[in-house]
Structure 1
Amino acid sequence: MGRRSDHTREQLRALLIAEGHKLLAEQGLGKFSGREVAKRAGYTVGTIYNVFGSLDRLVAAINSHTFLLWADFLRERLAAGGDDRIKSLVEGYFDFALAHPNLWSAIYDHRLVDADELSETDYSQRAALTAIVEDEVRAVLTDPTMPGADRFARSLIATVHGHCSYVVSGTFALLEEPDPVGSALARVRECLAAQK
């Protein structure tokens, strides 16, 4: 029997996200189970639907939580990384993904049928990571107010992401790429140099 009155709605939301986050980290999206999340939280699976409306929205909230952790991770790496902040950013991207492959992969493997299913909270949590990258990219541009700097930064994210996904999936190992992080960093530096 679930603990139906032990928590407020907000406490339930936080509890289900925390338990779901642990399960996703352990088993990945392919083996993720709402029933198991509810069980670990001490509730029935119906509680997920009462709180989130759907299992997809729970996974989206878990992924948004991962974005927050990732943003904090990058802030720490930038603070400790010295003067070469772009290098710290690129290496931090890879390091987070490799330390949390199931969580990182779930962000990109989970597809919502309707983007409107993301809450304002989800959007703001996800935007924190992009904002860090945009700020760092603007800081090295000759003209930080360059039109399209935000789009340029997102394109650099895509470049690093592609390299990183090849590492996480093992594709670069099959291609015998000796330094995927260095390769990603070189591509980013080339793009930044072309904007100066």
Structure 2
Amino acid sequence: MGRRSDHSRKELEALILVEGHRHMAEVGFARFSAREVAKRVGYVVGTLYNVFGSYDRLIAAINTQTFDLWTEWLEERLASDPPDRIAALVAGYFSFAQAHANLWMAIYDHRMVEDMPIPDEMAERRGMLTEVVVREVAAVLPQEAQPLAPRLARSLVATVHGHCTFALNGSFALLGETDPLAMATARVKESLAAAGARF
């Protein structure tokens, strides 16, 4: 019998997120089991759905934790004020994906159903990652190009994501590409230079 009154709802939510995030890191999205998370926290699986509302909301909450971790990862790499912050940003994207492959892929493997949008609080936390990129892009653009920063940042994230995915799944190796990080960094800098960026 699962524990039913050992924790407040807030404590239980935090406990489930810790174990859910750990389980996702271990097995990835395809093998993720809410039942296993429930077992780890000592409650029945229905408790997880009572706390989060649904399986999809549970996964969304776990993935939002990953966004928090990813944002911290990038900020830590930029905190030392590297001489080439754009290169450091791209390298940080790659290194996070490599170090946390299951968590990183789970963000893209999970799809919320159309009538169940991401809650505002989660969307705001997820958006912090993009804000880091927008900030760094804006810093290298001339004043007249500043309004382009948000849109350009989103496009550059997509570019880096594609290169990173090909690197992790072995596609670049099959194509004979030996330095996908350098390739991604070059594409990003070319796009920024076209917008007038100075490095």
TM-score w.r.t. the length of structure 2 is 0.95
Q: Deviations over 1:101-160 (max 9, x none)?
A: 000000001011126431122101100100000000000001276333211110000000
Aligned to 2:142: 142
Retained in 2: the 8 A contact 1:77–1:92? yes
Kept in 2, the 8 Å contact 1:57–1:117? The answer is no
Cα distance change of structure 1 residues 61 and 115 upon mapping to structure 2, 3 Å threshold: farther
Matching residue of 2:54: 54
Structure 2 contact 145–195 (Cα < 8 Å) conserved: no
Structure 2: which amino acid aligns with 1:128? M
| C-alpha displacement of 1:173 | 1.3
Q: Is the CA contact 2:167–2:180 (under 8 Å) kept in the aligned structure 1?
A: yes
Residues 77-115 of structure 1 deviation map (CA, whole Å, 9 limit, x = unaligned):
111351211011000000000001000000001011126
Runs of 4+ in 1 over 4 A off after TM superposition: none
Who is 1:33 aligned against? 33
Inter-partner Cα distance in structure 2 for 1:11 and 1:192: 45
Q: Tell whether 2:184 aligns with 1:184.
A: yes
Q: Distance in 2 between matches of 1:129 and 1:102?
A: 18
Count residues in correspondence.
Answer: 196
Matched with 2:133 is: 133
Match of 1:17 in 2: 17
Q: Where does the alignment leave 5 or more consecutive residues of structure 1 unmatched?
A: none
Opposite residue 154 of structure 1, the aligned amino acid is: R
Equivalent-residue separation in structure 2 for 1:44 and 1:102 (angstroms): 25
**Counterpart amino acid of 1:155?**
S
**8 Å contact from structure 1 (residues 163, 181) kept in 2:** yes
Contact 1:68 1:126 in 2 (8 A): yes
Q: Identity of counterpart residues, as a percentage?
A: 58
Q: Cα RMSD between the aligned structures?
A: 1.3
Structure 2 residue identity aligned to 1:91: A
- Please give the TM-score of this superposition, normalised by the length of structure 1: 0.96
Write out per-residue CA displacement over residues 163-187 of structure 1, whole angstroms, 9 at most, x where no aligned residue: 0011111111111111100000000
